[in-house]
């Protein structure tokens, strides 16, 4: 049986929370897990599910990428940075 040890709990991004407070949403905190007896680590992203006015699922990954695009929108199948996410959320208001 696989045994995981939680190394770190990932908290929601304060800037994203500020932008989605006007919508109906749910948040699932992410985690960084270590598979015991190996050197493998797994990242469960922080998940923001906006349900109103439209349904959008935003995943926030804690990674160090050159492109600095830590966010992924499931419905659009694309990666975004924080500035682009804010623009998308503003467009949802209109």
pLDDT digits (tens, 9 = 90+) for 42-75: 989 999 999 988 899 999 988 765 568 889 999 9
- The SS3 assignment for 53 reads coil
> What domain range includes position 51?
4-93
Residue written as token pair 């995981």: 4
| Number of structural domains the chain divides into | 1
Mean pLDDT of the chain: 89
Closest CA to 15 of 70, 79, 67: 70
- The SS3 assignment for 30 reads strand
Q: Check pLDDT > 80 for residue 94.
A: no
pLDDT of residue 46: 95
How far apart CA 33 and CA 49 sit, in angstroms, is 22
Closest CA to 90 of 32, 42, 22: 22
Report pTM: 0.84
């Amino acid at each position: 049986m696989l045994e995981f040890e939680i190394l770190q709990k990932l908290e929601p991004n304060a800037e994203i929370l500020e932008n989605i407070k006007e919508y109906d949403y749910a948040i699932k905190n992410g985690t960084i897990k270590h598979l015991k007896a190996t050197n493998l680590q797994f990242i469960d992203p922080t998940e923001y599910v906006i349900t109103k006015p439209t349904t959008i699922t935003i995943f926030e990954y804690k990674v160090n990428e050159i492109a600095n695009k830590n966010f992924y929108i499931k419905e659009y199948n694309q990666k975004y940075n924080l500035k682009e996410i804010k623009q998308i959320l503003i467009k949802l208001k209109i």
